[in-house]
Every structure is written in structure tokens, then in C-alpha cells.
């Protein structure tokens, strides 16, 4: 199937960004106005904390600029993402990023000023000016970071270096989304198809083993040609993270990344420990795959994604998927479904996979825009799960913006992944509570097991790799392509066990993972999925109070630290119980699948 160019995608199948800015001229006018506002912000430093009223007024002025800037940034980013070959849109995106960096530099004085005021001074201000209560959590977060904030001039210098420090990540994005050229291969019908990151996920699930192997080899042959370049971009990004951590007096980059949201490092390490403890379950699942596929002694990495219950029997048009998602999410109540309906019926979702479109999927937007979703629709069960996942993010955003002021109108990734994967688990519960046909049930169970493998085990593998490369760089090790491939190969063998044959190019996989540029991001997929397992079971099988607690969580934004928000929702993520509960569900469903598959 030919992949359309952006200009060939019907308008009604694209998202409507004109609700953010009607024309690019409107964007330009807003950009020009906000640029002037940003230039005026440093003048607010003088006397910033001379009184509680002044502090309130100036914070309010700064957040108003930030609010207008967020629309500019989001529009430019989203306009570029749907066609990364469009140089004009790329230029808009670059200018949006630069303006955001200018803004960060312009307001770098805030933290040092609040720290100079101190906790006692801040407490006095709260009593003096009741309106400051709106900023209490924001200000207390700053005071909590006291030992990691530099003097004002030094913070300005570090903020001004933001563009340079993000250059490696930008180079990776342009290289992977625009410059890499993948070959044509034959699909299982003997038709020549151009390989892309989007259709690779389909081809690697083909029932024809030769197609799977060809797709795998062709993909990694291209990445292999640029292995040293990708090692350089990844190393540059790691060095940027370590520089920032060292500059701000953190023990390491991991502590720095988790510090912003007050996530204990133990939560990260506890995940690695718990997953290692239960690698035997993953090895069981891999061994079962080897047995079912009749590949004793020859199970390869390109065999890890083919459904082991045969050719997928579940496929969906986009309209069918929206109807199925809506039905599965009814359990969350009428108001939640109203939010889903708005997303589905108002061109908030850009679902067609077109040439040069950002790969994967995401939910985006700003406080004063709709929530939007970028997808690359393939029409399979995975596409349906991606839709409910991103819709989980989007409704989370909608509830947050409706219930929180701008200062708390977003949410950290740590809780974001819980909202999205709770939807995935609700869809799984919906299916497994209703489907009785043995073949379909086996397919759904395997889909869940494969998803768990990909979300908990695989993302933890990524998290372990990410920790390793940051520690290696910090220790002075050169992050060459050979060094990265060697460790990744060993890690892959440890996770998947002895059934996987050695010798494939899987050691290169690190080169194509965009999340390694996000600064200790991926572990939150694993913790989020595990927590979501507990929440979804409470929503599906628990009380009305459980549902209300969950909706309150979605409305919380960043008004408290993530660990506290989750405790109120009913999951304590400082303890390993939620992880053990998740592995228990995985084990139970693995047992059921093992018994069922033997009867088919």
C-alpha cells in the first residue's frame, strides 16, 4: 500500500490546528508579541520579592507570558510533526524552541530570588497575601530544591545554553524522521512495500517468517550505516544530562531527573530489582513462544512480535475503533465519555500515516487549546490500544485544564503514563470479561502478555540501559557504537533468556529509540502500567468510590507531588506491592494462555 504525502490526506482525517491559530500570519503576530514580552521579563527581577503583593503580581505576569508562549510552541511543534520534510514548518518549530529557551533564560532569576527569600520569608508572605496561596505548591517546590539552584547569573548562562544542549536530540529527530531512506521489501502477498518505522511494526508481526526477517534486517542495515552517528548524538545528549546534573550539584543525572517531581531514586531502583526478580516469567513466555512457533534452538528477535495464536482476526477501521474504545471506557462514567466524544468528533485526532510524519503516537496541546492526538493508523488491535492510550492522556489533559489554574495545568510524565495505561487495562478487562471464543480469547491474552512484555519488561530494559550509559559517561567511558551495542546485546540476552539466539543486529536497537533522548523517561511506562493494573481492576470490579478517586486523580494536574497524588488515588508507589500485584496478573494470564493454547 502506497503511503500518501501530507497533501494527499483528506482534511477531515487531519487535526484542526486553525483552532489554535487561524493562519500562520496569526502565529507570526503572536510570536512577535510574545518575543517582546519575553524581552521585558528580566526587568521584573529588581524588587521581585520586595513584598508579597509584588511577588504575586509578577508571578502572575510571568505565567501569563508562559501561557501565551505555550500556544506558540505547541502549534509550531505539531505543524512540523505531521510533515518533517516541510522546511517552512521546521523553521517555525525551531523558532518556537528558541523562543522557549529565551523565556527560560529570562525567568532564570525566579528560583534564586525565592531561595533568597527563604522558607520563613515565604511563610510570612503567605500570611500577608492570601492570593499567593494559588502559587504555594509551586513556590514550595522551589524552596525544596535549594541546594541545587545556582546564583541568578549562573542560572541565566545555563538556561541560555539550552539550544546548544538540545542539538543532539534535534539532530536525532531530523535524521530518523526525514533523512533516513529505507528500502523496499516484499510483504507476505509478494507486493513491494517501502519500509518505514510505521509499517515496520506491522511487517515484524507477519506470519511469513521471511518477511519478518527481511524487515528486521533491512531496518537495522540502515541504522547500522549510521551507527557511529547515532552513538555521537546519544553521547551528546547523555553529556548534556550529566552536565546539567553536575552543574546543579546532584549526585548523578538520575537523581536530577527524578528530583523535579520529588520521585525517590528508590522507586527507579525498586523497579529494576522487581523486574529482575520476575525475569523467570518472561523467560517462560519466551520459551512458550519458541515451542508454539516450532523454532527450537532457532528463535530470533524477529520472531518476538508475531502473534503466536495465528494471523490476527481483529482489525478495525478508525470509525470502528472509536466506537469500540467508547464502549470500553463507559465504565468510567458519563462525564468521562462526554470528553471522549468531544475528541472523537471534533478533528482532534490526526490518524493517517503519511510520508515524513513523526513516527509513533502522542497526545499534545496547551492549556488554552484542545487536546490533540497524533497517530499512525494501521487498522489492527495495536492501533485500537494506541487510540485508547492516547485518549487517556487527552482526557487527563482536559480534566486537568478544567479543574486547575494554569500554574498546575499540566502534569508530570510519571502520572501521565498511569492515565493512559489505565485505559489500556480497562480495554483488556472489557475484552476478557466478554470474549468466550477460545481462539479470540487466546489472541487477546497473548496481546496482553505481549503488551506487558513491551511495557513493563522492555521499558525496564530501556531504563537499565539508560542508567548504564549515564553512569558510563560520568565515569569517563567513551560511548562508542561498539560499546553501546555490546552492552545492549548482553542486556537483551539477560532479559529474554537463553531461548533467544545470538547473532542478530538487535544490539543496534538503542540507535532507534527516541525516548533515550527524553532524560530518564521510559521507566515511567513500566511503573505506570503496573500502577494502572491495580487502578483498572478497582474501576472495573470495585466501588463507585474507586471510580471517583480515579477521576479526582485525573483532575489533580501538578497541584501536588506525583507520589502523593497516586496515594490519594489508592496506589502507594514507594512500596513494591503494586509491582508484585502486576506480576501476579501477568502470571495468572500466562497460566491461562498456556492452558488454552494447548487445547487449540
- Same domain assignment for residues 47 and 31: yes
Phi, psi of 175 (to 5 degrees): -60, -45
Whether 248 and 219 map to the same domain: the answer is no
Residue 436 and residue 527 in one domain: yes
Q: What is the pLDDT of residue 160?
A: 87
pLDDT above 70 covers what percent of the chain? 100
pLDDT, tens digit, 9 for 90 and up, residues 393-421: 999 999 999 999 999 999 998 999 999 99
Domain CATH code at residue 269: 1.10.1370.20
* Model confidence pLDDT, tens digit, residues 19-37: 999 999 999 999 999 999 9
Mean pLDDT for 487-505 is 93
If 0-12 CB within 10 Å is exposed, 13-18 middle and 19+ buried, where does residue 574 land? middle
pLDDT tens-digit map of 189-242: 999 999 998 899 889 989 999 999 999 999 999 999 999 999 999 999 999 999
Instruction: Decide if 368 is inside a domain.
Output: no
pLDDT tens readout for residues 353-363: 999 999 899 99
Do 38 and 103 form a contact (C-beta atoms < 8 A)?
Answer: yes
| Mean pLDDT on 92-108 | 96
Residues 243 and 207 in one domain: no
User: Does 542 share its domain with 417?
Assistant: yes
Q: Per-residue confidence at 310, pLDDT binned at 50, 70, 90?
A: confident
Residue 111 shares a structural domain with residue 14: yes
Residues 465 and 546 in one domain: yes
User: What integer pLDDT is reported at residue 16 of this predicted model?
Assistant: 98
In angstroms, rounded to a whole number, what is the distance separating the alpha carbons of residues 443 and 427? 14
Whether 337 has a pLDDT exceeding 70, the answer reads: yes
Q: Are residues 52 and 194 in the same domain?
A: no
On whether both 95 and 199 belong to a single domain, the answer is no
Q: Which range among 142-151, 242-251, 327-336 shows the weakest confidence by mean pLDDT? A: 142-151
Angstrom distance (rounded) from CA 526 to CA 505: 25
Flag whether 248 is in a domain: yes
pLDDT score of 312 more than 70: no
Which of 165, 196, 217 is the last residue in one of the domains? 165
Cell 513556590 belongs to which residue?
139
Q: How many helices (H) and strands (E) does the chain have?
A: 25, 5
Q: What is the pLDDT of residue 25?
A: 98
Residues 455 and 587 in one domain: yes
pLDDT tens, 348-393? 999 999 999 998 999 999 999 999 999 999 999 989 999 999 999 9
* pLDDT at res. 22: 98
Distance, in Å, from the CA atom of 102 to the CA atom of 82, rounded to the nearest integer, reads 26
Greater confidence (265 vs 159) lies with 265
Same domain assignment for residues 491 and 557: yes
Q: Let me know whether 152 and 189 are in one domain.
A: no
| Domain membership flag for residue 320 | no
Angstrom distance (rounded) from CA 600 to CA 595: 9
Whether residue 342 lies inside any domain: the answer is: no
The pLDDT of residue 152 is 79
Q: Tell me the backbone φ, ψ of residue 287, rounded to 5 degrees.
A: -60, -40
E strand or H helix at 372: strand 372-374
pLDDT digits over 39-52, tens only? 999 999 999 999 99
Residue of 390, 464, 466, 509 marked active site: 390
Strand partners, 299: 500
Contact 361, 375 (CB under 8 A): yes
pLDDT score, position 285: 97
User: Residue 522's closest CA among 344, 271, 337, 287?
Assistant: 271
- Residue 390 falls in the annotated catalytic set: yes
pLDDT at 145: 87
In a domain, 340, yes or no: no
- Residue 375 located in a structural domain: no
pLDDT band at 147 (very low <50, low <70, confident <90, very high): confident
What's the structural domain count of the chain?
3
Domain residues for the domain of 89 are 6-165
pLDDT above 90 coverage of the chain, percent: 89
8 Å CB contact between 340 and 325: yes
Determine the average pLDDT of the residues in 486-503.
94
pLDDT reported for residue 502: 80
In CATH, what number is assigned to the domain containing residue 19? 1.20.140.70
CA distance 308 to 304: 9
Helix H or strand E segment including 432: helix 413-434
Q: Does 525 fall in a domain?
A: yes
- Mean pLDDT calculated for residue range 475-486: 98
The answer to pTM > 0.75 is: yes
Residue 371 located in a structural domain = no
What is the mean predicted confidence (pLDDT) over 306-326? 90
Say what the pLDDT of residue 1 is: 65
The pLDDT score that the predictor gives to residue 197 is 87
Amino acid at each position: 500500500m502506497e503511503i500518501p504525502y501530507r497533501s494527499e490526506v483528506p482534511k477531515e482525517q487531519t487535526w484542526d490546528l486553525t483552532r489554535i491559530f487561524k493562519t500562520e500570519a496569526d502565529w507570526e503576530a503572536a510570536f512577535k508579541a510574545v518575543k517582546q514580552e519575553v524581552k521585558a521579563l528580566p526587568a521584573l527581577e529588581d524588587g521581585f520579592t520586595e513584598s508579597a503583593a509584588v511577588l504575586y503580581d509578577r508571578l502572575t505576569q510571568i505565567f501569563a507570558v508562559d501561557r501565551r508562549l505555550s500556544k506558540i510552541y505547541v502549534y509550531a511543534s505539531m505543524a512540523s510533526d505531521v510533515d518533517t520534510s516541510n522546511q517552512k514548518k521546521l523553521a517555525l518549530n525551531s523558532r518556537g524552541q528558541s523562543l522557549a529557551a529565551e523565556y527560560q533564560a529570562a525567568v532564570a532569576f525566579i528560583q534564586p530570588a525565592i531561595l533568597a527569600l527563604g522558607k520563613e520569608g515565604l511563610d510570612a508572605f503567605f500570611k500577608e497575601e492570601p492570593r499567593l496561596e494559588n502559587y504555594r505548591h509551586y513556590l514550595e517546590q522551589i524552596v525544596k530544591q535549594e541546594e541545587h539552584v545556582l546564583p541568578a547569573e549562573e542560572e541565566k548562562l545555563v538556561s541560555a545554553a539550552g539550544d546548544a544542549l538540545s542539538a543532539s536530540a534535534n539532530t536525532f529527530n531530523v535524521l530518523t524522521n526525514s533523512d533516513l531512506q529505507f528500502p523496499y521489501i516484499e510483504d507476505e502477498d509478494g507486493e513491494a512495500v517501502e519500509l518505514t518505522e510505521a509499517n515496520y511494526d506491522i511487517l515484524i508481526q507477519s506470519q511469513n517468517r521471511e518477511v519478518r526477517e527481511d524487515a528486521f534486517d533491512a531496518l537495522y542495515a540502515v541504522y547500522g550505516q549510521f551507527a557511529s552517528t547515532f552513538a555521537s548524538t546519544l553521547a551528546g545528549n547523555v553529556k548534556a544530562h550529566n552536565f546539567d546534573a553536575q552543574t546543579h550539584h546532584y549526585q548523578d543525572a538520575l537523581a536530577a531527573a527524578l528530583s523535579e517531581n520529588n520521585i525517590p531514586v528508590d522507586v527507579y531502583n525498586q523497579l529494576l530489582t522487581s523486574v529482575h526478580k520476575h525475569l523467570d516469567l518472561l523467560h517462560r513466555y519466551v520459551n512458550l513462544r519458541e515451542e508454539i512457533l516450532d523454532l527450537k534452538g532457532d528463535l530470533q528477535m524477529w520472531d518476538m512480535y508475531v502473534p503466536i495464536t495465528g494471523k490476527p482476526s481483529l482489525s478495525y477501521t478508525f470509525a470502528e475503533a472509536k466506537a469500540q474504545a467508547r464502549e470500553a471506557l463507559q465504565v468510567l462514567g458519563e462525564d468521562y465519555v462526554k470528553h471522549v466524544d468531544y475528541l472523537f468528533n471534533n478533528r482532534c485526532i490526526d490518524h493517517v500515516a503519511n510520508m515524513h510524519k513523526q513516527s509513533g503516537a502522542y497526545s499534545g496541546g496547551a492549556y488554552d487549546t484542545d487536546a490533540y492526538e497524533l497517530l499512525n493508523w494501521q487498522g489492527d488491535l495495536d492501533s485500537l490500544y494506541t487510540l485508547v492510550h492516547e485518549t487517556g492522556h487527552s482526557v487527563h489533559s482536559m480534566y486537568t485544564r478544567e479543574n486547575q489554574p494554569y500554574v498546575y495545568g499540566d502534569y508530570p510524565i510519571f502520572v501521565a503514563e498511569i492515565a493512559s495505561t489505565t485505559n489500556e487495562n480497562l480495554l483488556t478487562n472489557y475484552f476478557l470479561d466478554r470474549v468466550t471464543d477460545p481462539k479470540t480469547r487466546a489472541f487477546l491474552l497473548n496481546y496482553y502478555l505481549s503488551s506487558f512484555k513491551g511495557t513493563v519488561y522492555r521499558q525496564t530494559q530501556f531504563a537499565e540501559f539508560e542508567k548504564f550509559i549515564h553512569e558510563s559517561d560520568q565515569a569517563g567511558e567513551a560511548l562508542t557504537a561498539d560499546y553501546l551495542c555490546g552492552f545492549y546485546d548482553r542486556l537483551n540476552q539477560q532479559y529474554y533468556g537463553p531461548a533467544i539466539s545470538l547473532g542478530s543486529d538487535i544490539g543496534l536497537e538503542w540507535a532507534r529509540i527516541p525516548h533515550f533522548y527524553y532524560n530518564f523517561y521510559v521507566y515511567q511506562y513500566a511503573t505506570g502500567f503496573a500502577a494502572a493494573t491495580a487502578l483498572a481492576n478497582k474501576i472495573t470490579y470495585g466501588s463507585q468510590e474507586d471510580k471517583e478517586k480515579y477521576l479526582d486523580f485525573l483532575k489533580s494536574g501538578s497541584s501536588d507531588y506525583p507520589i502523593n497524588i497516586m496515594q490519594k488515588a489508592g496506589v502507594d508507589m514507594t512500596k513494591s506491592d503494586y509491582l508484585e500485584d502486576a506480576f501476579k496478573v501477568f502470571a495468572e494470564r500466562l497460566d491461562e494462555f498456556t492452558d488454552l493454547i494447548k487445547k487449540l
